[in-house]
Amino acid sequence: MLIGIDVGGTFTDGVLFNGQTVITAVKHPTDNRDLKATLLKVLDKLLTEVKGEDIHRIVLSTTLVTNLLATESGERTALLLLPGPGLPLDTYRLFADTYFLKGNIDFKGRKTEAVDWHEVEKAVEEINSLGIKKIAVVGKFSNRNSVYEKEVRKIIVDRYPQIEVAIGSETAGQLNYLRRIVTTYYSVMTQSAWKEFVGEIETALEEREIRSEVDVLKADGGTMPLHLSLSKPCETVFSGPAASTMGAVALAMDTKNSVVIDIGGTTADISLLIDGHPLYASKGARIKGHYTHINAFSVFSLPLGGDSPIVITNGKISVESRRRDKAACFGGDYATVTDVFNYKYALGIGDPSHSTEKISRIIDGSDWDIEKFCSDVEDIVVDRLRKAIQSMFQEWENEPAYRVWEVVHGRKFIVQEIIGIGAASAAIIPVLARRMNVDYIIPKHAAVANALGACVARPTLALKVHLDTQNGYFVIDQDGISGSLQAGRSFQIQDAKELAQKYLTEMANTRGMDQYSGEAEFYLEEQFNVIRGWNTAGKIFDIGIQIAPGFIKEYQGVRK
């Protein structure tokens, strides 16, 4: 049996799943001061009918890291940066305790300026004297050659063994120094708190005699083993929206172009599925205004939900973003979006007479009659959702393209279906779909789609290999892997792809996801002739290979 738990900002959802059946579904308010307690409460409710030993997989999705970053309550961390020439240093001074060092690598991984060891020692001495126990070392183009980052780390660890050091090339090896700095910094500063949390969870599971595989959900909709998350806690940010999207995919089980709308009390999270595959944010997860190298789904959050109150101010209807209470039909004090749809379409939600009563009270003394008022509110709600959806389509269609082929063939998002999940979807989605003239589904168990998505999501792994046969080396953007390349003139793209496949398989094995390495797909194949004079001096390849988000093999859908 499987368990999925998604600790969200307002509610924590859990499901116990077996075969094709949701056996138990739990919804519980989240205590943001004690996520662990909330999580265990939900776990215990799920375990009332089964024994711990019957569980063979648990997947957790939590807001812990998201909260730590939002409240800046991680551990104090110093940044040692080797930026070299280029943008002004102030561009990279994003956080306090930032130190700049000499030492530069260029785009081909060549050393172009040496590190000043004396300068390194002085900086580290100062950091130590400030009582800082965590250091992130990040160099420009360290993803092409990590030698300086490693040498700086060695100096620190040799002198101050108590200081923990992380380097950029092992944390975030993609091109983009700014995002590498942010990602490495956030990883380091959240590590201790995450480690503590993981420890407590492991103890709690032991107490319940659960010895199953335990995974956490990442922002990219894939899972990773709990112990591997210790070095990369940041990858768990925004796993909530990822859980919802994966849940929608799991429940829909089709290959259409769809819009997933997770509309709850206060927020509508919109994501897109292209041929059934979730769309990624092209610039990575954005945390506190900073772009990162964390792979995340593209999610547009609109402050609009079933509990959004409706008011009339200065003779105009407005749908407010700030929740005041639950919907009137559930005993709330204000007329909400849910109440309006409840009245207009006679949905019979809660006690519909309360919806009618509160709406009547708002329009009392105004020029609106109740029918006109409700249809005006509907227009506003539908318009805001449509605009948000439209802007997501446009953003995807307008992604920069660097090849003639891509520009000539263009892209257009033609939506085939809306998948509604979340508490308010039943009231709003049918109307929206009708107005947009597309089909919709609101799957059974839509209210706990997030927890279901988490428990059936499979692990993901993506790596990009950069190979340079002229200079005889390759680098991989994950875990700082690099090596020399004994490549003759005959080395071709096929050989580059084999190398990428080999490393993906190895990494998959060490992560216990060997059963999925056969399903890896190439998402990037670029090759360049390096010409010096009029001769071919070598080739450069960029190969991307991934085990994309998907579902564990045992998942065969949910029985209708």
Q: How far is the CB of 391 from other proteins (least distance, A)?
A: 15
Q: Is 227 in contact with 55 (CB distance < 8 Å)?
A: no
For 57, the enclosing helix (H) or strand (E) is strand 57-61
Of 313 and 402, CB closest to other proteins = 402
Q: How many alpha carbons lie under 13 Å from residue 143 in its C-beta half-sphere?
A: 22
Distances in whole angstroms, Cα of residue 332 to Cα of each of 236, 305, 309: 34, 15, 10
Q: How far is the CB of 284 from other proteins (least distance, A)?
A: 10
The CB density around residue 558, as the number of other CB atoms within 10 Å, is 19
Q: How far is the CB of 475 from other proteins (least distance, A)?
A: 12
Residue with tokens 């995807």: 396
d(CA 353, CA 468): 71
Q: How far is the CB of 543 from other proteins (least distance, A)?
A: 14
Of 99 and 141, CB closest to other proteins = 141
Q: What string of DSSP letters covers 338-361?
A: HHHHHHHTT---S-HHHHHHHHHH
- Adjacent-strand bridge partners of 215: 59, 225
Of 346 and 408, CB closest to other proteins = 408
Distances in whole angstroms, Cα of residue 365 to Cα of each of 312, 318, 369, 444: 11, 17, 10, 42
Cβ-defined contacts of 433-440 (< 8 Å, 24+): 435/382, 435/386, 436/386, 436/389
3-state secondary structure of 402: coil
Q: Is 16 in contact with 24 (CB distance < 8 Å)?
A: yes
Q: How far is the CB of 281 from other proteins (least distance, A)?
A: 13
Q: How far is the CB of 447 from other proteins (least distance, A)?
A: 37
Of 376 and 526, CB closest to other proteins = 526
Q: Is 262 in contact with 449 (CB distance < 8 Å)?
A: yes
Of 405 and 488, CB closest to other proteins = 405
> Identity (one letter) of the amino acid at 426?
A
Of 255 and 529, CB closest to other proteins = 529
Q: How far is the CB of 25 from other proteins (least distance, A)?
A: 41
Q: How far is the CB of 140 from other proteins (least distance, A)?
A: 6
Of 314 and 535, CB closest to other proteins = 535
- Chain contacts with other proteins (rule: CB under 8 A): 85-91, 104, 106-108, 112-113, 140-141, 143, 175-179, 283, 291, 398-405, 407-408, 526, 528-531, 534-536, 540
3-state secondary structure of 172: coil
d(CA 269, CA 511): 31
Of 314 and 534, CB closest to other proteins = 534
Of 138 and 456, CB closest to other proteins = 138
- Adjacent-strand bridge partners of 213: 57
Q: How far is the CB of 174 from other proteins (least distance, A)?
A: 9
d(CA 326, CA 331): 7
Q: How far is the CB of 295 from other proteins (least distance, A)?
A: 16
Of 89 and 230, CB closest to other proteins = 89
Of 439 and 526, CB closest to other proteins = 526
Closest Cα to residue 329, out of 348, 303, 310?
Answer: 348
3-state secondary structure of 424: coil
Closest Cα to residue 325, out of 343, 312, 311, 313?
Answer: 311
Of 323 and 539, CB closest to other proteins = 539
3-state secondary structure of 203: helix
Q: How far is the CB of 172 from other proteins (least distance, A)?
A: 12
Pairing of strands 461-468, 535-547: antiparallel
For 277, the enclosing helix (H) or strand (E) is strand 277-278
List alpha helices for 422-524, DSSP H.
425-436, 449-456, 493-510
Of 75 and 526, CB closest to other proteins = 526
Q: How far is the CB of 404 from other proteins (least distance, A)?
A: 5
- Adjacent-strand bridge partners of 527: 541
> Identity (one letter) of the amino acid at 388?
A
Of 76 and 286, CB closest to other proteins = 286
The CB density around residue 360, as the number of other CB atoms within 10 Å, is 14
Dihedral in degrees, nearest 10, Cα atoms 361, 364, 368, 372: 30
